[in-house]
Amino acid sequence: MTHRPVARTPHDGGAVRRWIGRGWLLWAYLALNVPLVTGMILTSDAPTYAFRSAIAVLAVVALAVGVWWQRPAIPDGWWLLAAATVATAGAASVQVATLLSGSPNGSSVTWAQDLLVLSLILLIAGLTRLVRLSGGASATDTLDALLVALATFLVLYWLVIGSIRGPSGVSLLAEVVYPLGAIALFTMAVLMLLSVGVPTVAIGLLLVSVVARVATIVSLLVPAFTTGSLLGAGYTPYLGAAATILLGAAALHPSLAATRVRRERRENLVARPRVLLFVVMALAGLTALGAKVMEGEQGNNPTDVAVLLVGGSVLLLLIVTRLGVTAGIAQRSATELARRSDDLASAVREQEALQRQLRHQAMHDPLTGLPNRVVLVERLEWVLTRPGHRPLILAAIDLDRFNDVNDTYGHLVGDSILVKASHRLLDATPGQGMLARLVGDRFAVLLEDTGLDEARQWAERARQALRQPYRMGDQELFLEPRVGLLPIGPPRPAPTATQALRDADLALRAARNSGDRVAVFSPELLTAQTYFNRLSNGLRRALARDELTLDYQPVVDLATGRVVSTEALLRWNPPGAPATPSEFIPVAEQTGMIRPIGAWVLRTACRDARPWYDRYGVAVSVNVSASQLDEPGFDNLVEEVLRESGLPGSALMLEITESNLIATTSAREASARLERIRSLGVRVAIDDFGTGYSSLSYLTRLPVDVVKIDRSFVQQLDPGHGQRQWAFIRAILHLVESMGLQAVAEGVETREQAAALRELRCPCAQGFLFAKPMPADAFARTLTSPALPEARARAGPSGSASRRTATSRRAA
Ligand code: C2E
Ligand code: CA
Ligand code: CA
């Protein structure tokens, strides 16, 4: 049933529905019936019939009200029942009229009886409709109902109909319509009971009413066969009245509103109570048959014989059909069961296959099909926990520049290189070795029962195989493999699997810097790594904890001894052991911390230098790492810092090492940033010149203003070094000067070095000889004091740092 809460409007009748819902109308109806039934009992003849008529009319009203406002499922079935009751009322009224008119004439009796027959037919029709409440009776239900009805008929026939052959007059009604009607009614009642399952109270009342109606007919019939009149037994009217009242009560019971057509259809095999009913009815029917046959021997009646023959055959037919249907159902459900178990079996098989696949996927690298890290760790754990295991080697392998290839040629090329590399590695690895792919271009090989010498040989073989060109279409790509070896075995204690992987990785990192690109793990690597971790963790907090400071080292004019500029040098003073810049700056660069730290240095140095520049024309020099130049906003940062500090661009110099400068200028964006910075008047110096590419030809191409000659050259100016070193520095200075650049000699420690530099006409110098790096306030004091002692030595007494003069500005 579809719910139509809004569409109720035509006869919503909220109040009536409420009264029905609370049971008031039912009680009122029953109460009204009390005087009517009493009247019926106390009176006779016409008044009795009048009461009976009234009871029926009341039931009609109850049905109309109940069905109209409760809107049960299949309302037309109920309307048919109401119509049947109208016919009953009509029959009673005709009787009243007949009796009141004095002489019961034949036509009015027939009238009344016709109305009763009509009522019976309407009742059967209504029930036939209502059987659909079960969603349509199933074949088994119908068969069972028929069986029960037929057996009942046979019993009735044996007990009542066949034995008493009444005088005619009523024979048609008595012998055909009433018994058949009773059987039909009974069949419907049984069928409803069978198919509706547990009924609601309303349906229960309906069923009881039907049974009462059947009983009425039977009670009418039994005496009819002896008396030939259909007046029935004394209690017959009461049974009829009860049936009528119950019907009205069913319509007014609140549960009627809840009757719904059952959705699911079910086929009953043989529920236990039904088997019982089935057996009892079959036996009763057959017994009746048998009894009749016995009687028949005494006086054969051809009708009886026909009825018995037909009834018996049909009963048997029904039983056989029922069995057939049952067997069919059993067969179908057996087939269904078999199909389901087949489905289940294949589902289980699929599930297993899927699990196998998942297990494989979980253990293997999808690209190369090699075992993955999980498998390697498992194997390692197993080998390492085996007591007294033989020496073994864990090797970590990767391909230098693989990421570049991946980025340049795309992931498809990268992937196919990895597959090829994995095949080559597999070929190079002996049978007892286990090759796994860890991540990206990182592979690992576990070589069991292998010593270090053997492992080195294997590493060389593997490297040679991996170095062969990778042919991709019409070009060949070259990659440089690296191998880190971790020997596991006495005397060192066995590591855990995770430690082993970590140590092999450390060896691999060390291999990057080793000549043959193979490195063996040593405990120092671990110490270094631990130190690295400690520094990087500490650096992360250094800025926030205010642990960073700047020292300043003066750069002097060698001719005058005046301080022309100063280099800002970063210091880190963590609470525990302090670290030198050459220790922590590489860590800061690798971890990316150099960017925020570098910004801080720039800001602090410019702020500190502002008064020095204003009063003494002293410029400031700040060291800059490559990754700072790679940062997109670096040029803006410089501009912003200059604005904030009020320092002119010409008072700032950025020191960049030679190799960083080359990397920067070859990257277009970084080079553009550097040009923008230079356009602000900021100068750029090549730091540590001579230690990197040392190619003088670079000097002509790089965007620089100052060249800082590395102290390793300056130290070669000490006595004892030959003329060739002098010649080299002279050549550099000459070149620098001829290009209009300014030279600064770094790391000047002795007077001899300073003298030599003056002789070579090097304009500026920096070094411990003049001053060590010092805090800002100390540096500020050196500016106010007379010229630095060593710088002044040759420059004469007038060489103190003076107020801004043209000579302190950049020469070029
Ligand atoms: P650098 O740029 O070459 O700085 C000069 C280094 O030489 C400083 O070492 C300084 O103390 C040292 N030095 C100066 N005169 C002499 C001398 O006569 N003899 C000797 N033996 N050494 C001298 P420091 O301060 O330890 O800095 C080391 C390196 O750390 C610097 O080398 C520079 O590359 C880097 N660095 C320092 N501060 C910063 C910074 O703020 N940012 C960046 N990116 N790097 C920095
Ligand atoms: Ca420097
Ligand atoms: Ca330097």
Give the number of other CB atoms < 10 A from CB of residue 543.
14
Mean pLDDT of 717-727: 77
Q: Is the CB of 570 under 6 A from ligand 1?
A: yes
Alpha helices for 71-200 (secondary structure H): 75-100, 106-130, 139-156, 171, 178-196
Instruction: Classify residue 90 by its DSSP letter.
Output: H
Which DSSP symbol is given to 807? Answer: G
Evaluated on CA atoms 553, 555, 558, 559, the torsion sign reads: negative
pLDDT at 584 over 80: yes
Reply yes or no on whether the pLDDT at 281 is more than 60: yes
pLDDT of residue 746: 96
Residue 245 confidence (pLDDT): 94
- Check pLDDT > 80 for residue 74: yes
- Residue 791's nearest CA partner among 565, 557, 613, 620 is 557
Give the ligand with the smallest distance to the CA of 621: 2
**pLDDT given for residue 169 in this prediction:** 47
Minimal-distance CA residue to ligand 1 atom 45:
623
| Between 433 and 744, residue with greater pLDDT | 744
CB 315, CB 154: distance < 8 Å: yes
Q: Name, in order, each residue with C-beta under 8 angstroms of 668's C-beta and a sequence gap of 6 or more.
A: none
Phi, psi of 691 (to 5 degrees): -100, -20
pLDDT value, residue 106? 57
Q: Which residues belong to the active site?
A: 746
Tell me the percentage of the chain whose pLDDT exceeds 90: 46
pLDDT computed for residue 809 by the predictor = 39
pLDDT number for residue 681: 97
Burial 614-639 (b: 16+ CB within 10 A, else e): eebbbbbbbbbbbbbbbbeebbebbb
pLDDT top residue among 265 and 332: 332
- List phi, psi (to 5°) of 164: -105, 110
Using CA atoms, how far apart are residues 728 and 234, in angstroms rounded to an integer? 147
**Is residue 5 pLDDT above 60, yes or no?**
no
Of 552, 623, 664, 708, the residue with max ligand 1 atoms within 8 A of its CB, to mutate for a pocket test, comes to 623
Return the closest-CA partner of residue 716 out of 735, 700, 732, 704.
732
- Pocket flag, ligand 1, residue 767 (CB < 6 Å): yes
Reported as half-sphere exposure (CB side, CA atoms, 13 A), residue 725 has a value of: 15
The C-alpha atoms of residue 599 and residue 556 are separated, in whole angstroms, by 26
User: Over 80: is that where the pLDDT of 232 sits?
Assistant: no
Nearest ligand, measured from the Cα of 710: 3
Residue in this structure with the two tokens 């191409």, named with its chain if needed: 701
The CA 767 to ligand 1 mean position distance, Å, reads 10
2-6, 25-29, 340-344: which has the minimum mean pLDDT? 2-6
Pocket test for ligand 1, best of 553, 556, 569 (most atoms within 8 A of CB): 569
Q: What is the DSSP string of 486-505?
A: EEE-TTSPPPPHHHHHHHHH
pLDDT reported for residue 800? 41
Nearest to 394 by CA among 343, 342, 429: 429
- Residues whose CB falls within 8 Å of the CB of residue 13, separated by 6 or more in sequence, listed in order: 68, 69
| Mean per-residue pLDDT of the chain | 84
pTM: 0.54
d(CA 140, CA 143): 5
The ligand with the least distance to the CA atom of 655 is 2
Determine the atom of ligand 1 nearest the C-alpha atom of 625.
Answer: 44
